[in-house]
Amino acid sequence: MRRIKRTALLLFALLLALFPWRASAATEGAVYRRVSTEEKVIALTFDDGPHPRVTYEVLDLLAAYGAKATFFVIGKNLEEYGEAAERAVSEGHELGNHTYTHPHLSGIGVGSFEGELTRNGALIEGVTGERCRLFRPPEGSCRSEMLALVGQCGYATVLWDVDTRDWSGIGTAAIVKNVLQNAREGSIVLFHDYVGRECHTVAALKEILPRLSAAGYRFVTVSELLSYSASASDVE
Ligand SMILES: [Zn+2]
């Protein structure tokens, strides 16, 4: 009996060594928009990059304020501008999966979607050395069968409660106002570090970061933000 116990313990230790367990607050298949917390923590998220200039400017600003963020990257951009993503990871930021080509999900089948998800997932793992656990659908929505697949592939889906609308071409002041009026404890804020037009994201961040910092907020990755939530059911 004792020997069986010892063998079981040895086996367990071997499994741990082979597959190191990593604590993550993200629950597979869950959909997050924000978390309920009284802690002054906010998750800034940047979609559609990496970009050869904007991502670096964002990273410089985040570093200046000791802020951590999450970048929901597009696989094709990651292939082209991987160095920006490598820098982000090396500075403590997190990468999330935003598909390989950013298709309109209403226009593709589940098989194509799976390809989009897994191809980008492999690219991200190539940068981080870890399995990616966070997914954000292009335009923030996908069909229920796709959501189910996302969960089966080990991802949580991360949406947002504050849309800066920086993608729409609005000016710096409007982006700043959107964030300062709506961000609160546990918020997930949607920015873009790759916009196919004139983009005021960086200029807005230059105002948002000092103002929210002065109000006592800390900026954390989505995974860290989720750790402030007692359970998935705590999510709004
Ligand atoms: Zn996007």
> Tens-of-pLDDT digits for all 236 residues of the chain?
556 556 655 555 544 444 433 345 788 899 999 999 999 999 999 999 999 999 999 999 999 999 999 999 999 999 999 999 999 999 999 999 999 999 999 999 999 999 999 999 999 999 999 999 999 999 998 999 999 999 999 999 999 999 999 999 899 999 999 999 999 999 999 999 999 888 899 999 999 999 999 999 999 999 999 999 755 444 54
What is the pLDDT at residue 198?
83
Size (the chain), residues: 236
How far away, in angstroms, is 47 Cα from ligand 1 center?
Answer: 5
State the residue for tokens 């923590």. 41
How far away, in angstroms, is 26 Cα from ligand 1 center?
Answer: 21
How far away, in angstroms, is 102 Cα from ligand 1 center?
Answer: 6
How far away, in angstroms, is 166 Cα from ligand 1 center?
Answer: 12
What is the pLDDT at residue 24?
54
Task: Please report how many Cα atoms fall inside a 13 Å half-sphere around the Cα of residue 108, on the Cβ side.
Answer: 19
Residues catalogued as catalytic: 47, 192
How far away, in angstroms, is 230 Cα from ligand 1 center?
Answer: 29
Tally Cβ neighbours within 10 Å of residue 160.
20
Looking at residue 51, what DSSP letter applies? -
31: CB partners within 8 A, 6+ apart: 147, 156, 157, 158, 159, 235
What is the pLDDT at residue 197?
81
How far away, in angstroms, is 49 Cα from ligand 1 center?
Answer: 9
What is the pLDDT at residue 6?
61
Q: Which domains does the chain have, with CATH numbers?
A: 28-234 (3.20.20.370)
How far away, in angstroms, is 74 Cα from ligand 1 center?
Answer: 8
Q: Which residues lie at CB < 5 A from ion ligand 1?
A: 47-48, 138
